[in-house]
Structures are given as structure tokens and as C-alpha cells.
Amino acid sequence: MFAAVRAAHHRGMTDLRTNYLGLSLRSPIVASAGPHTGDLDLLLELERAGAAAIVLPSLFEEQVEGDVAAVDRALDEQLATGNGGAAGVPLVDEYNAGADDYLALVEAAKASVDIPVIASLNGTNIGYWLRYARLLESAGADAVELNLYSVAADPIVSSVTLESEHTGLVAVLTDDISIPVAVKISPFYSSIASFVVALQAAGAAGVVMFNRFYMPDFDLDTRAVVPRISLSTPEDLRLPLRWIAIMREHLAMSIGASSGVHSGFDVAKAVLAGADVAMATSALLRNGVGHVATMEEQLRDWMKEQQITSVDEMRGTMRRPVAADPAAFERANYIGNLAAYSLRTS
Ligand SMILES: Cc1cc2nc3c(=O)[nH]c(=O)nc-3n(C[C@H](O)[C@H](O)[C@H](O)COP(=O)(O)O)c2cc1C
């Protein structure tokens, strides 16, 4: 009984609330896209464990393109067999399952959980974005996350062209829908700082740094190219940590940290750098979705130990050493670390 009262008191003392994309969240711990967020039972478990919001897995442009091709085939078939009219309609519906299933998932997720549901689109075609973002909005999504997952592999497309294409797409889309749009980027833009500022100018309500690319590997025995989906480790947090610290003071929009968030201590680091939320996928795939509760406990314990009473109070407080002169910070630390490393190993 006393323990329960103490725990409640403890909870009362620590204010984890944060704002992301204009949404009020109970804590900065968000479940990022992955197979676990596409399952209604797991969404309920995530909410019970304390996840402040969930990002659904992406609807991929290729899935939808597949749908469109399938619908065309179905229509051809109907025409060829003369089976048009009312009798032909279910055939088309059946073939069009990808996008329909996704919209049904958004609706079901909204009906099942009270926490915000962020839908996700992965593609770079504006027609696709406009059409599906509107549908996601009418299905009840609280926000849309655009996953700009593309490999800049065309030698004649410069970084300037590619980045302005991407920001142009974001501008058209944010004009068109009224729910907030977050853009999830890879760390492979040649000038992350200018690109992220341009995303904000284009109307994005937030940026998620960073997505992970799944690099293919070679199997030397079979000489096949094997796709390897490897989960992250806490080491991977260093990249978003650095860029969030650099970008915080340049941005009024929200920042989500993604890649390498495995514990409540990692959440604390992300917030100290300036993130509004810290997102986890690998940690939840590895430990189960109930791990969100452990992460929250770790965050609370650390804040209490540090006598920090709110997430608002700690956000961005460690960005300065990294952001003041990032280039000099980077070089000084690099040189210092190299020296320390050779001493340790000699
Ligand atoms: C199995 C798997 C599936 C994923 N699916 C998606 C997806 O559909 N859309 C998306 O934007 N990110 C997807 N991601 C990326 C994660 O949302 C996240 O950005 C990335 O894994 C880095 O975070 P982490 O270190 O917490 O895993 C996926 C990641 C994994 C491991």
C-alpha cells in the first residue's frame, strides 16, 4: 500500500509530458513504425505499457502501385469475360486489398487506442502522397509521417535537385491536408542542416532523424545478394543525438529521435539533445512491446536521481557543447579520442 502511494507520489513529481506535431503526449516515448505497430493486439499492449503515440508501419508506394496494376488486370479480366457491372465489383475490391487494408488498420487503431495514431507513407511520387494522405486523414489519422526512403543512385541527379524535389513534394502535401506532417529522413543527405530547415519552411510539423537503411549483403557461398534486416544497438543513437543537438536551435518544428533508442536512458539522452520524442522499434522487437514500461521507469528513475522534474525542463540542455561549433567540436573530440585510444592500447 505504502509502496503504491510512494509510486503515485513519485509519478506525480515527474512530469513526462511533451508535445509532438502539436499533439499533447503523456511522455516522450513513442513506438516507431515496424511490424509490431501493425497488429491491433500489440497496439493495445503498447498503450497499456505507456507508449505515448504509435506510428503505424508504412503504406509503400509499391504496394499501392501493385494494387493499381492488379485493379487494371481485374478490369481487363472483367472486360474479357464480359463479367462487368455489379457482379464484377467484388473482384476489383479483392484485388485492391493493400491500401484498403491499410485504411482499415488506421480506422481500427483509432477505434482501439486513445493515444495518437500516426500513419506512415513511404514513397516519393506526389500523386501517391496526395491521394493516400487525404485518405489517411479521412480515416482518422492524427498525423502523417512521410518516410523519404530513397537511394540517390542516379549520377546525373545532383543533391540540390534531389533535395529541392523532396522539399517541393512536402510543400504541396502540407498545403493539401490539414493534419500535421512529419518527415522521416535518412542520414545520407549531403547537407542535413539546410535540408531540414527547408523541410520546416515547406510546412513540415516535424522531422524524424533518422531512418535506418537495410544494406544488402553478399552470400559468398551462393553468390546471392541477401537483404539483411539488422536491428539497431544503443551505439546507433550517436548519429541522431549529434544531429538533433546541432539542429534544435534552428528549428521551431518538432524533432523525433529514431535509431538506437533502447532504454529510458537513451530517451533521456535524446531529450537532452533537444528531441521532443524518442522512438523505438528494434528495442521493442527484441524485448517485446512491454519494454516501453521499463523504458519509462528508467527515465523516471534517472530524472528523479538528477532532480529533474519535467521533460520540458531538460529538453535541449545538452545541445550546446555539440552545437556551438559543431565542426570544431567534432575535430577536437576526434583528435582527443584518437590520442586516448592509442594510450589505452599501447
Ligand atoms: C522490421 C522493421 C520494419 C520497419 N518498418 C518500417 C516501416 O514500415 N516504415 C518506416 O518508416 N520505418 C520502418 N522501420 C524503421 C523503424 O521505424 C526505425 O526508424 C528504425 O528501425 C530505427 O529505429 P530503431 O533503432 O529503434 O530500430 C522498420 C524497422 C524494422 C526493424
Q: pLDDT digit string (tens) for 117-149?
A: 999 999 878 888 888 999 999 999 999 999 987
- Ligand 1 atom nearest 32 alpha carbon: 17
Q: Is the CB of 184 under 6 A from ligand 1?
A: yes
CA of 159 to the centre of ligand 1 (A): 25
Class of domain 2-315 (CATH, top level)? alpha beta
Answer whether residue 102 shows pLDDT above 50.
Answer: yes
Most informative mutation of 62, 63, 212 for ligand 1 (most atoms within 8 A of CB): 212
For residue 87, the model assigns a pLDDT of 35
Q: Please work out, in degrees rounded to the nearest 5, the angle formed at the alpha carbon of residue 147 by the alpha carbons of 141 and 151.
A: 165
Q: Which residue has the higher pLDDT, 196 or 336?
A: 196
Distance CA 194, CA 208 (A): 15
Q: Is the CB of 34 under 6 A from ligand 1?
A: yes
Residue for grid cell 492524427: 142
Q: Is the CB of 3 under 6 A from ligand 1?
A: no
Q: Is the CB of 262 under 6 A from ligand 1?
A: no
Q: 3-state DSSP call for residue 136? A: helix
Residue for grid cell 539497431: 232
Worst-scoring range by mean pLDDT, 26-30, 124-128, 146-150, 314-318? Answer: 124-128
Q: Is the CB of 31 under 6 A from ligand 1?
A: no
Q: Are 258 and 184 in contact (CB under 8 A)?
A: yes
CA of 284 to the centre of ligand 1 (A): 11
Distance CA 173, CA 186 (A): 20
Ligand 1, atom 30, residue with closest C-alpha? 34
Average pLDDT over residues 112-120: 97
CA of 33 to the centre of ligand 1 (A): 5
pLDDT digits (tens, 9 = 90+) for 235-266: 999 999 999 999 999 999 999 999 999 999 99
For residue 316, the model assigns a pLDDT of 96
Q: Are 292 and 31 in contact (CB under 8 A)?
A: yes
Alpha-carbon distance values, 320 to 275, 314, 324, 334 (Å): 14, 13, 5, 18
**Which residues share a beta bridge with 255?**
207
Q: Is the CB of 220 under 6 A from ligand 1?
A: no
Three cell numbers written together for 229 = 534486416
For residue 11, the model assigns a pLDDT of 52
Distance CA 263, CA 82 (A): 60
Ligand 1, atom 17, residue with closest C-alpha? 33
Report the run of H or E that residue 55 belongs to, with start and end: strand 53-60
Distance of alpha carbon 272 from its chain centroid, rounded?
19
> Does 329 sit behind a cis peptide bond, omega within 30 degrees of 0 on the bond before it?
no
pLDDT digits (tens, 9 = 90+) for 48-89: 999 999 999 999 877 776 655 554 555 455 445 544 433 333
Q: Closest by alpha carbon to 178, among 196, 200, 197, 205?
A: 205
pLDDT digits (tens, 9 = 90+) for 297-313: 999 999 999 999 999 99
Q: Is the CB of 27 under 6 A from ligand 1?
A: no
Q: Phi/psi at 30 (nearest 5 deg)?
A: -120, 140
Answer whether residue 271 shows pLDDT above 70.
Answer: yes
Pairing of strands 143-147, 29-31: unpaired
Distance CA 47, CA 29 (A): 11
Q: Are 241 and 273 in contact (CB under 8 A)?
A: yes
**For the chain, which residues make up each domain, given as ranges?**
2-315
Q: Are 16 and 278 in contact (CB under 8 A)?
A: no
Most informative mutation of 281, 287, 291 for ligand 1 (most atoms within 8 A of CB): 281
